[in-house]
Structure 1
Amino acid sequence: MQFNTTSPEISATRAALLTRAEAMAQSLPWHEVTMSKLAQSAGVSRQTVYNEFGNKQGLARAIALVVAQRLLVDFNEAAAAEHDLHGALAAGLVSAFEHADATPLVHAVLTGQSGNGLLTVVTTDASEILETAGGAITHMVLDRWPVHDRAAVEIVAELAIRLFVSHLLQPGPSRRVTAARIATIALAALEHGQELVAAAENRVG
């Protein structure tokens, strides 16, 4: 699975618009990033921008998803070099933290430089990010450690992602220590996989 703006799954027009939009979001408060400005910057009609993203909230979700996909590339590459699940999760999370810390847009969002529009996507409208990241982590775990129950892994993957985002917003100790703690929590939760699944089913019911 490819996680970048040049993926064949993304049209050249959409990729170009996302590149422009990300650059604008790094340098302008989010309320100043408009569909019209994006269209003008990319040399396309405003209708083209609306056709691609629907509205500004859709644009925000698309930008956030592209950034998340880049973090997943780093996560998967680092995790692949480890031989046990705890090591894979910890290494992947460290790499994702480091990529996020080095990404200007992430810094702008977390420090409030871009306004709260993009932050809202990450914190309250993150279903697509959770689905994409959760699916990638679940695939990695089950591909290498198929002994685990899929439903339990999906729950634990979402837990790990939410903890990751929480620590992006409010950093605790070092990134390496935080990543190891999240990995430890994830493995402890997997040991009670059936209980997790049962609790989730009862909550839904």
Structure 2
Amino acid sequence: MARSRGRGRTREAVFAALRELLLENPWAEVTLEAVAKKAGVSRQTLYNDFGSRRGLAEAYTFAMAEAYCDAVDDLLAAEPEPLAALEAAMQLFLTGAAEDPLIRRVQSGEAHHDLVRIVTADSGPLLDRIAERLAAGLAGRWPTVDAATVEAAATLMARLALGLVTMPPPAGDELAKRMALLVAPAFGA
């Protein structure tokens, strides 16, 4: 148990270091050695945990998705109004995506093709995980909605979110509301 907590703290430090480096440098200039140094771990630790720069980018992407899903779960539980809960969840993603340096690199066209593939051609596992987590959160919030509807709504939300990673959303505050309006009828909102 203590070992897994230590590994979790190491991963958090590595992801924080990667984020900091991406704020300062393009992906092409971010090396595992630089990430290891900034995170206070050995380069061998990164190779052992992630295998490669692409492996690190994939793990970082999955960690971001998990954090997003955790925050969505919290929003869904806290907001009594279904439409407002869905809109807040969509807005959370849009705001988070706009602030993340890895996503900004992909959106601006500055990302290495390996990064772009993680959220395009190779996005199946990421999409499945996001949809699975969203479905669990939606089912917990609306237990009377049938499983097929929950799954379809979660898949739609995951695909919308992932689609917005590769191309920046249009400017304006209405997008989250419009996206929520697409999904809300499934939940009686």
TM-score range normalised by the length of the shorter chain: 0.7 to 0.9
Amino acid at match of 1:145: W
* Counterpart for residue 96 of structure 2: 99
Counterparts of 1:156-171 in structure 2 under 5 Å? 156-168=153-165, 169-171=167-169
How far the C-alpha of 1:43 sits from its partner, in A, is 4.2
CA contact (8 A) 2:50 2:59 kept: yes
In structure 2, relative to structure 1, the CA distance for the partners of 1:121 and 1:9 (3 Å cut) is farther
2:172 is the alignment partner of 1:174? yes
Indicate the SS of the match to 2:119: helix
* Counterpart for residue 79 of structure 2: 82
TM-score (norm: length of structure 1):
0.73
CA contact (8 A) 2:76 2:138 kept: no
In structure 2, relative to structure 1, the CA distance for the partners of 1:88 and 1:57 (3 Å cut) is same
Q: Which has the higher contact order (CA 8 A, sep 6+)?
A: 2
- Quick one: distance in 2 between partners of 1:185 and 1:141? 15
Of 43, 53, 65, the residue aligned with 2:50 is 53
* Counterpart for residue 142 of structure 1: 139
Indicate the SS of the match to 1:11: helix
Name the stretch that deviates more: 60-69 or 71-80: 71-80
In the alignment, structure 1 segments of 5+ residues that lack a partner are 1-6, 192-205
CA contact (8 A) 1:28 1:114 kept: no
- Quick one: distance in 2 between partners of 1:43 and 1:83? 43
How far the C-alpha of 1:173 sits from its partner, in A, is 5.5
How far the C-alpha of 1:87 sits from its partner, in A, is 2.8
- Quick one: distance in 2 between partners of 1:82 and 1:14? 31
Indicate the SS of the match to 1:72: helix
- Quick one: distance in 2 between partners of 1:184 and 1:38? 41
CA contact (8 A) 1:90 1:182 kept: yes
CA-based RMSD of the aligned residues comes to 2.8
Amino acid at match of 2:116: L
How far the C-alpha of 1:10 sits from its partner, in A, is 4.9
In the alignment, structure 2 segments of 5+ residues that lack a partner are none
In structure 2, relative to structure 1, the CA distance for the partners of 1:40 and 1:167 (3 Å cut) is closer
2:69 is the alignment partner of 1:72? yes
Name the stretch that deviates more: 98-107 or 48-57: 98-107
Alignment identity in percent?
31
Name the stretch that deviates more: 117-126 or 35-44: 35-44
CA contact (8 A) 1:142 1:148 kept: yes
* Counterpart for residue 203 of structure 1: none
Of 106, 121, 127, the residue aligned with 2:118 is 121
